[in-house]
Amino acid sequence: MMNGIIRTLAAVVLGLGVIATPAHAAGTAQKNAEDYDFSFEGPFGQFDRAQLQRGWEVFRQVCASCHSLKYLRFRNLAEPGGPEFTEEQAKAFASQYDIVDGPNEEGEMFTRPGRLADAFPSPYPNEEAAKAANNGAVPPDLSLIVKAREGWYYPWYISPFIKLVKGNGGAEYVRSLISGYEEPPAHEEAREGLNYNPYFPGHWIAMPQPLSGEDVEYKDGTPNTLKQEATDVAAFLAWVSMPKMEERKKIGLMAMLYLLVFALLMYMVKLAIWSKVEH
């Protein structure tokens, strides 16, 4: 009963007008994403550089075979606030990809090694090729996937209400989805070309299980279990979705301190002006 009251109050505060997600309202048994304490959560949270570097390895060695990151430039990998690879490492990563460029002097397109200014390329030349390779489903671009799943990027003072009403989202949703594939229950009829995942709305997803554990060899010696790989790539995609998060938090903190000092000064001014006035 108390939980229901809290949900109702949270819905009123947020102005959502609903107590549950559409999946819950429809009576389905979509599982809520597992809660996980990522280092970047909260008003003072920061990205774990080693985790972002591991997540990049998982993405480029596994996820990049189907998914793109069209808003990520290779130079971003070396910028402050992210994985913070060296510029030479970022150049080396870029050079491993063939980028379509042109036209040249003959009016023809050509391919060249990637540069720092290039965006991460799509594995498919066009949408139709992507459909043909994936049973008619187009793998989504993952640049904003964490942001699209409504989670940690809300202000820290609103996130708890979001979680109460809509459940865990953002990086936690991505982490649970990647590591949460299961065999369908007995009452669920298998669907051709689809895979059962209780964290996905409707339960049936076109993407096969992308990770199984030991997919990537971590150079820092971190155990490459399924959960660890899913956690690392979820954190990496969170950074891709909000690459300026740490800078934004610093600016926000400075603004709050400024307002606090300003309010104190205004209070002292008020005391000085009215102290000689009889009441």
Percent of the residues in the chain that have a pLDDT greater than 70, as a whole number: 83
13, 161 Cβ separation under 8 angstroms: yes
CA distances from 128 to 64, 101, 135, 140, 165 (A): 18, 21, 11, 13, 38
- Please write the tens of the pLDDT for every residue from 11-35: 444 443 333 344 443 445 678 899 9
What amino acid is encoded at 170 in this protein? Answer: G
Furthest-apart CA pair in the chain: how many Å?
A: 88
- Please write the tens of the pLDDT for every residue from 198-243: 999 999 999 999 999 999 999 999 999 999 999 999 999 999 999 9
Entry pTM:
0.82
Report pLDDT for 189.
87
- Please write the tens of the pLDDT for every residue from 149-170: 865 445 555 655 555 555 577 8
Report pLDDT for 157.
57
d(CA 116, CA 77): 9
- Please write the tens of the pLDDT for every residue from 98-153: 999 989 889 999 999 999 999 999 999 999 999 999 988 999 999 999 988 865 44
3 state SS of 101: strand
Cis, peptide link before residue 103, omega less than 30° from 0: yes
Output the CATH code of domain 2-248: 1.10.760.10
